Amino acid sequence: MTPGRFEGRVAAVIGGGSGMGAAISRRLGSEGAHVYVADLNESSATGVAEEIGGEGGKATARFLDAVQISELKDLYDEIEAEHGVLHVLHHQVGIPGPGGIDVSESDWQETIDVNMKSPFYASTLAFDLLKRANKKGSITLTASTSALVGSPFSPIYSLTKGALTAYVRSLALLGAPDGIRVNVICPGSVDTPMLPTFFGREPGADIEDLKSGFISEFIPLGRAAQPEEIAGVIAFLASDDASFVTGTTIPVDGGIVAK
């Protein structure tokens, strides 16, 4: 942790109310950023913002349905009115999607909306504010190791997360003249409330048994990540320490994709 690394900067964390998003919000706040904690669960966002404030940081809680373009615009309008600039944007929102290939059209659309539409509009609508960051703008997105290695459980999850790795390369080129850097991380198993949902797609599944089996077989470091470990990588990518890093895909997976 580097106290003051984001002093005087403004950050928005889309999906910042729980799990990895909450850890990222707290980390950016602890290093001096004024963090907009935006989440579909307003009480969770408020709780995280209060934690940041209780530690001497600055944060604003904001209800946000991240698939609604009008609500994303409202968030950025608020940030513009209050600060006139955005330095750090992190998008955390995502869902596992249905398992297998027998996917209803409604489930397909929901997965596309959450995992692809939301990060696309969250990042593109923020561009004007990030351009004002004196070439210190950073966008980070969260994909998954399933973007890099095939998921035998959910092809649609691999489809939607894999798209983000190509997207950041394109957006990084677009943002480079204005100093806006764009990167994506690919976490493996992370110890959050969402983790069991990746193993519980089939009725009657023994989630704990499936989870422990996956960890022991597939993760060389032999454990799931802690949310704070993901937050440390995002804080690095958003900081001046990563000022020459853009268009990259970074696994944060305990060695899964190295196998």
* Catalytic residue status for 157: yes
257: which strand partners? none
Helix (H), strand (E) counts: the chain: 9, 7
Q: Minimal CA–CA distance to 208: which of 191, 225, 228? A: 191
Instruction: Please tell me whether residue 88 adopts helix, strand or coil conformation.
Output: strand
Give the CA-trace dihedral at 186, 188, 189, 190, to 10 degrees: -40
| DSSP secondary structure of 52-116 | HHHTT-EEEEEE--TT-HHHHHHHHHHHHHHTS---EEEE-------SSS---HHHHHHHHIIII
- Asked whether the beta carbons of 205 and 221 are under 8 A apart, the reply is no
Catalytic one of 36, 76, 157, 167:
157
What distance in Å separates the CA atoms of residue 247 and residue 250, rounded to the nearest whole number?
10
Which residues are known catalytic residues?
Answer: 157
